[in-house]
Structure 1
Amino acid sequence: MENSSIFPFNSSFAPFCVAAAATAFCCLCALWAVRSKKAAVGHGGRPKKSCGCSCSCGVDSHTPYANGSAGERYEKGPATMAVERPMGGGSMMEQLVPEITTHTLSYLDYPSLCRLSMTNTSMRRAANDDSAWKALYHKDFTVEQDSVTPLNGWKSYYAATKAVVNINAIFYNIINERSLSAMGRLWLHADYVKCVHGSGELFTGYNAVMDSWELAFSWGQGIAFQIRDVRVRVLSDMAWVTLKAFVDVESGPFHVTNVFEFHNGQWYMVHHHSSVMLIDGEAEHHNIFG
């Protein structure tokens, strides 16, 4: 009996069916591979590693970098890098030992230390440190006041001392320029002010003191004193200065004491005392200065 079927099968179509099935299977595999690759690609079109960052190369995420963690650091975005800080926290200046910070700042002068305090918060805190200003005071002025504890700190004490040193220098510039009007503005207008010139004469009261300077300025040319060994002490609204004033190298110095008072935001001279200049052990009165 001949065997029959509803769907007759021709053996010549068998190779064609196998090829079609294989082609369909390959297409499905290719489609699955494309969809899997799209799912693995990040926002920038680069493959995502297990850590979540974008990789610029085809290196496996488990492959170590040749330069350690530096590669991972540069693969992070700019925002991530901006918030990185040293492991100890804060700036390098904040991590220094206080003694090292003070020693470092001691090499700066007054203007540089003031400018440093205006850079940022950590620099302002370091530049306003009392130990730094105490070290600067001893470097610029004197170590005689090491035991002094300024009421408003060493920075304020330094500024007051510098102001007194400046007004004391102005006093000798006025003598050199022989400006009676400038000398009148320098002295406090009070009846208790006193002036002892190098001649040894004492003048008391504002008018008498001004008359003495008018007489001193009438003597020839102005005198350019060379000031040495300046020492200053400031007590709130009062300060005094001791120094040596040289007229020339050959003659000995005048030993001078100047006293100032602080009124209405300005320092005024209230007392000037100059020692008598001795020549060969005797007082020589060439003019009112000595």
Structure 2
Amino acid sequence: MEIASIFSETFSILLALVFTALCCSFAVVSVRLKSKSVDSDGGGKTFPKHPCDCICSCVVDDATNTEIRTTASNNPDSNGGLMPGKLQMGASMMEQLVPEITNHALSYLDYPSLCRLSMTNSLMRKVANDDDAWKSLYQKDFTLEQHNVIPDNGWKAYYAVTKALLNVNAEFFNIIRDRSLEAMDNLWLNADYVKCVHASGESFSGYEAVMRSWQFAFNWDQVVVDFQVQDPCIRVVTGMAWITMKAFVEEEGAGPYNVTNIFEFSNGQWHMVHHHCSPYILQGLE
């Protein structure tokens, strides 16, 4: 009985091994048959195998001995475009997205991310430099007031200029907080047409008069003024820019203020040529 039991178990194992070997053989044969059908045009003509292992239809130009690939997506429709619902073999997912979807995806990226994306490869550089993508980013980060503007050098350059100007504008308020007359001297353009109107209402014209007004303001014994700027709106034209904003001061009885700063591009950098600060009258308060 024990010998019969052992023989039965051995036979079962051998049978399982034979069945497994047959299954593997059939799998190998079916894979090879499928591979041959892919490399054929359906009429018996076999095309050479490609390193990319693609499944596109290929023909060889006998005159030039070069391969010509054709795909279903390369067949134009009556409007000259690609047939709807057919993907382009060998193309990346980004290439096959319609522009609206691509721009929507890029709208979630910030300024540094979009710049880094453009440095990955040629395709991403083309996508990341799209003018509509930079326009959407500009309106998201800055203001919607410029939707009718057509920048001469495109929205990417316009974005960069706007960001640089806002940094200069922020530096102006840092100079006031630090009371640095030297930095204020470098910020203003040395010209006789510059003008400054302080919150007190006093107006000064000309570079020398404006610098004296700031010297007097910095020497005045008072607490350090720290402005909190809100709602900056900027407009840039050739060689000129102006920024309007509200400035709040954490000091009892001071502010808020309406502020307008005008800048001129000279000698490779932006300089202030006009500053106007006036008290902001809050609606509904008597």
- Taking structure 1 as the reference length, the TM-score comes to 0.68
Q: Distance in 2 between matches of 1:82 and 1:259?
A: 61
Q: How many residues of Structure 1 are paired with residues of Structure 2 in the alignment?
A: 222
User: What are structure 2's unaligned runs of at least 5 residues?
Assistant: 1-22, 40-48, 57-86
Shift of the alpha carbon at 1:58? Answer: 8.2
Give the Cα–Cα distance (whole angstroms) in 1 for the partners of residues 177 and 264 of structure 2: 23
* 1:4 corresponds to: none
What is the distance in 2 between the residues matched to 1:239 and 1:91? 41
Aligned-partner Cα distance in 1 for 2:282–2:213: 23
* Residue of structure 2 equivalent to 1:269: 272
Check whether the contact 1:252–1:278 (CA below 8 A) recurs between aligned residues: no
1:227 equivalent in alignment to 2:229: yes
Measure the CA separation in 1 of the matches of 2:176 and 2:205: 19
Q: Secondary structure at the match of 1:112?
A: helix
Q: Which moved more, 1:111-120 or 1:84-93?
A: 84-93
Q: From the superposition, tell whether residues 225 and 82 of structure 1 become closer, same or farther in structure 2 (CA, over 3 Å).
A: farther
Residue-by-residue CA offset, 1:101-152 (whole Å, 9 max, x unaligned): 0000011110110110000011000000000000000000000111111111
In structure 1, C-alpha distance between the alignment counterparts of 2:225 and 2:25, rounded to whole Å:
84
- Please report the RMSD computed on the Cα atoms of aligned residues, expressed in angstroms: 3.4
Bigger radius of gyration: 1
What is aligned with 1:206?
207
Find the counterpart in structure 1 of residue 249 from structure 2. 247
**1:90 CA displacement:** 2.6
Aligned to 2:68: none
1:10 is matched with: none
Compute the displacement of 1:64 (Å).
1.8
Whole-angstrom distance in 1 between the partners of 2:267 and 2:55 = 51
2:136 matched to 1:165?
Answer: no
Q: Distance in 1 between matches of 2:195 and 2:107?
A: 39
Q: Which runs of 5+ in 1 are unaligned?
A: 1-56, 282-290
Which is further off, 243-252 or 168-177? 243-252
Matches of 1:273 and 1:113 in 2, distance apart? Answer: 35
Percent identical across equivalent pairs?
A: 60
TM-score (norm 2): 0.69
Deviation at 1:258, TM superposition (A): 0.2
Query: Deviation per CA, 1:166-200, whole angstroms, max 9, x where unpaired?
Result: 10000000000000000000000000000000000
After superposing the two structures, state which structure 1 stretch, 216-225 or 246-255, moved more: 246-255
Q: Give the AA of the match of 2:204.
A: F
Shift of 1:91: 1.9
- The C-alpha deviation readout for 1:41-83, integer Å capped at 9, x for no partner, is xxxxxxxxxxxxxxxx9847993249x76xx99xxxx972377
| In structure 1, distance between residues paired with 2:188 and 2:155 | 28
Q: Distance in 2 between matches of 1:124 and 1:263?
A: 31
